[in-house]
Amino acid sequence: MNVLTQLLHLAGSGATAYITAFNLRNLETRPNMLAGLQLAESGSVPFLEALRDRAEAEGDSWLAEKLMLHANDERRHGQIFAHALKQLDKQAIDLTNVPKTKPDGTPDERRRSPFFDAYFEGYSQEQLKPQNIEWAVFFASTYILELDASQDFLRMARALRDDPLSANLCKGLESIAQDEHRHASYLREAMERRFSHSEVNRQIDQWRTCKVNAMLAMVTNIVQRNGKIASLVTEGAPVELENADLPKEMATVR
C-alpha cells in the first residue's frame, strides 16, 4: 500500500469513527443508522449461504463450514439491530417494497449504495453473483470489509459505554466486533490456502485502495445531497419480534 493510500485510509477511519459515534449517540439519528446496519447484516445472509452451497459442490468442506458460520453470525447481527430498533419502537423498512425509481424517474437511493458501487467498480452485477464471483475477489474484498468493520463496531460500542440506557446495544456491538474479526481471520486463511504470500498481499493492497476510493465516493455523495440521508425506518416494532428470544449477549441486560 502506498503512503497516500495509507494516509487516506487513516483519515477515512477517523472520520468514520466520528460520524458513527455521533449518529449512534444521537437518538434522532440512531434509528436510521441501526436500520442501515440491520439491512446490511441481514442482507448478506442469502449471498453467504449461496457461496456455502457452491463451496460444498466444489468439495471444499472447510470453506463451506466457515461460510455457514459466517451466514449464521450475520443473521444474528441483524437480530441484534432489530431488537435495538424495537426498543425505540421502530423497525427497518422492507427493501422489497421500495421502488427502483422515484416518481421523477431518478433512482431511489435506498436501493443503491454509492459506497459499494465504487468499491466494486469495474465489476458487473452478474460477475458479483455468488455462483459467478471469483473466489479471490470475494476473499480479499470481504476481508477488508470485515477487518475494518471489527474496528468500527468496537468504536461504536465504546461510544455508548457511558450510556446506561444503551447497555444492551453496547454488549451486542462488542459481540459483533469479535465476530467480524473472526470472519476476517478465516478469509485471510482462505486466501493463504490458495495463493502465495506475495499474491495475498497484492490482493489486500488492491482492495484497500478500492475501499479508500469507495469512502471518498460515499462522502462526495453525502455532500452532494447536503448531508441528507434517506430514511430506512418506519414506526412500530415488528410483530415477529414481540416474543423473539434476545441474542444471548443482550439477554442479561433489560
The tens-digit pLDDT sequence of the chain (254 residues) is 555 555 554 555 555 666 777 778 888 889 999 999 999 999 999 999 999 999 999 999 999 999 999 999 999 999 999 999 999 999 998 877 766 666 665 555 555 678 899 999 999 999 999 999 999 999 999 999 999 999 999 999 999 988 888 999 999 999 999 999 999 999 999 999 999 999 999 999 999 999 998 988 777 766 666 556 778 878 766 655 444 444 554 544 33
> Quick check: 168 and 253 in contact, CB under 8 A?
yes
| SS3 (DSSP) at 157 | helix
Only one residue has cell 431511489, namely 108
Q: Give the pLDDT confidence score for residue 238 in this predicted structure.
A: 65
Q: Give the pLDDT confidence score for residue 82 in this predicted structure.
A: 95
The answer, as to whether pTM is greater than 0.75, is yes
Only one residue has cell 459466517, namely 70
Q: Give the pLDDT confidence score for residue 244 in this predicted structure.
A: 44
Q: Give the pLDDT confidence score for residue 184 in this predicted structure.
A: 98
45-57 and 61-87 helices cross at what angle (nearest 10)?
170
Give all domains of the chain, ordered by start, each with its CATH number. Answer: 3-250 (1.20.910)
Contacts of 191 (CB under 8 A, 6+ apart): 136, 139, 140, 143, 200, 203, 204
CA distances from 161 to 94, 155, 219 (A): 31, 10, 27
Give the total residue count for the chain: 254
Q: Give the pLDDT confidence score for residue 17 in this predicted structure.
A: 63
